[in-house]
Copies of this chain bind each other. A is one copy, B any other.
Amino acid sequence: MRVDVVGITEFRLPDDVPLELDAEGPEALAEFAGRACYESWSKPNPATATNAGYLRHVIEVGHLSVLEHAQVTVYIRGISRSLTHELIRHRHFSYSQLSQRHIPEGEYVVPEPVASDPELAAQFTAATEQAHAAYEELMTQIESKLAQVDSTARRKRARQAAQTLLPGARSTDIVVSGNLRAWRQFIAVHGTDQADDEIRELAVVLLQRLREVAGNAFGDFEISTLPDGREIASSALVTEG
């Protein structure tokens, strides 16, 4: 699994707004939007005079709509289609996923805790190789059988149909965009010990990336390690409602 930040909000202060900020990018835009609601450009209160303090306050009082202005886009590679089937249920993100029509190359994600047991992992990999071979064999059959009598369109359809033989572990890539409020919600829901391993791992990695570019908006989150070695991400200030 590889996660790169490929898009991030750049903040531009209008030249006539008397505001000085100690942050930039997504964090700055969120603070700007919050202050615009009261034109509170001056900062008499030390507790909210820093960007970190201001966003902490925003999160504590639940004024989360200001976090919606700032957006981060990530490019996630090497996750399973089983995971993306869960991921794309979130309706506040935008997605561009590697097309099903892209020829699959036989890459599969071995999930935890199977991966950490060599014997189980070998058995898993054998199964995916078998499935991939069955897919390729069916493709060959389709080609030889339909090529003479059938249209290009029908062969194309048959190939698409054949792909449903591929396991959910099939590797895929996806571009996902979301605002800071949506990312907070995603991490809180999927970073728990109740979540499936792959999506939980994704939530933890995402939190790490998001902290690098907008740490003040995730200051209430913690990453901790369970006795069995799994990492989870959580915040006392996010609830599902």
Spell out A's residues near B (CB within 8 Å): 4-14, 25, 29, 32-34, 36-39, 62, 64-66, 68-71, 73, 75, 80-82, 84-85, 88-89, 91, 94-102, 109, 111-114, 117, 119-120, 123-124, 126-128, 130-131, 134-135, 137-138, 141-142, 145-146, 151, 153-154, 157-158, 160-170, 173-175, 177, 179, 185, 188, 196-197, 228, 238-241
A116 to chain B, nearest CB (A): 10
Is the pair A37, B164 in contact by a Cβ cutoff of 8 Å? no
B residues within 8 A CB of A96?
33-34, 36-37, 65-66, 69
Asked, given contacts A117-B145, A127-B135, A240-B62, whether A175 binds B8 with beta carbons under 8 Å apart, the answer is no
Is the pair A70, B157 in contact by a Cβ cutoff of 8 Å? no
A16 to chain B, nearest CB (A): 9
B residues within 8 A CB of A188?
241
Is the pair A10, B12 in contact by a Cβ cutoff of 8 Å? no
**Contact of A109 (CB < 8 Å), options: B11, B29, B164, B238:** B164
What are 26 sample pairs from A and B whose C-beta atoms fall under 8 A apart?
A: A7-B69, A9-B71, A9-B73, A32-B75, A34-B96, A36-B96, A37-B98, A38-B102, A39-B173, A65-B94, A65-B96, A68-B177, A85-B85, A111-B160, A112-B161, A113-B158, A114-B158, A120-B141, A120-B158, A126-B134, A127-B135, A130-B130, A131-B134, A165-B169, A238-B241, A239-B241
